[in-house]
Amino acid sequence: MKYAIYRLFFPKGVHFGQTTLESSEMTFQADRLFSALCNEAVSQGSDALDRLVSLAEDEKILLSDAFPYADGVYFLPKPLLPIEHAWQEEDISKRKLYKKLSYLPLSACSDYLEGKLQVETLVQIKFGVSSMKVSVKLEPGEEAEPYRIGTFSFREGCGLYIIVGYEEKEALSFVEELLESLALSGIGGRRSTGMGRFELRRGTLPKEGIERMDGEYPYYTNLSVALPEPEELPGALEGARYLLEKRSGFVASEQYAPEPRRKRDVYAFQAGSCFSRRFKGQLRDVSNRGKHPVYRYLKPIFMGMGK
């Protein structure tokens, strides 16, 4: 499989919330990206949607979560692997910094696992700032009701990037067209205010990243929220180190039901979880008594870890 990187620059900030309107995360997951691409495909016709779903089901394309970049450096989620070094017993402050770290440069994976990372500098990196925006809800015949929206604004030189795995250039071109359409529509919440719209820029996956994608390693960290098929689960759990997260939300389709309906909840492995063997994952229908399927993308992109 071949891989492409796309950088997403957000000039007006973002609102990626999973809980309350007042909270906003910096990044979003592959399942949200896939849902947004499905909506863009619908606008092009049912054939485009069927093609996107087929490419995902057959693993002709793979999508990563969105991760931050800063000044040309691509960052990955910290792999959930143990760091066994003598300094851990002696230097409590450094051990705390390692735990505090959320992302590390792709080029620093080996140094991290060997306990050689200059973690003091990395924990000080700021990709942007969180803030609170106050808006007003206006309904005919009712008093104005203020409410707050959590936002995240990236600093200059920072943004998010995604990795797209693909078998054929034709499939990549199709996904790129959907991404270009999504850039105008926006991703996340509060898109009517211009939030979530982005500029799409093609990048190049560093050589070390390509090698870690294709090589054989003791562990593999998933770069997207993922869940094995039931028959894959026992093997995937052998020697695994992982965190689970609840994936939920409402269906963003007017054709699905006359009123907003929630998708069925799924618990999946967070990006950064580590496994001793690869698995394929699934594209799950999480519809709930609606008029059409609703897909939750839960397929991993793996990157090798260790020597």
The CATH number that applies at residue 187 is 3.30.70
Q: Tell me the torsion sign for CA atoms 229, 264, 165, 5.
A: negative
Burial of 170 (0-12, 13-18, 19+ CB in 10 A): exposed
- Among residues 214, 230, 262, the one where a domain terminates is 214
Q: Which of 135, 134, 173, 130 is nearest to 14 (CA)?
A: 130
- Non-local (6+) Cβ contacts of 288 within 8 A are 251, 261, 262, 263, 264, 294
- Among residues 170, 186, 214, the one where a domain terminates is 214
Q: Return d(Cα 171, Cα 282) in angstroms, integer.
A: 19
196 & 306 share domain:
no
Query: What is the number of domains present in the chain?
Result: 2
187 & 244 share domain:
no
The region of weakest confidence among 12-16, 89-93, 114-118, 171-175 is: 89-93
Is pLDDT of 166 > 90?
A: yes
Does residue 232 belong to any structural domain of this protein? yes
- Among residues 167, 186, 214, the one where a domain terminates is 214
Q: Determine the structural domain holding residue 170 and report its residue range.
A: 1-72+151-214
Is pLDDT of 87 > 60?
A: no
Does residue 3 belong to any structural domain of this protein? yes
Q: Return d(Cα 40, Cα 186) in angstroms, integer.
A: 10
pTM score above 0.85:
yes
208 & 225 share domain:
no
| ∠ Cα 24 26 28 (to 5°) | 95
Is pLDDT of 228 > 70?
A: yes
Q: How confident is the model at residue 54 (pLDDT cuts 50, 70, 90)?
A: very high
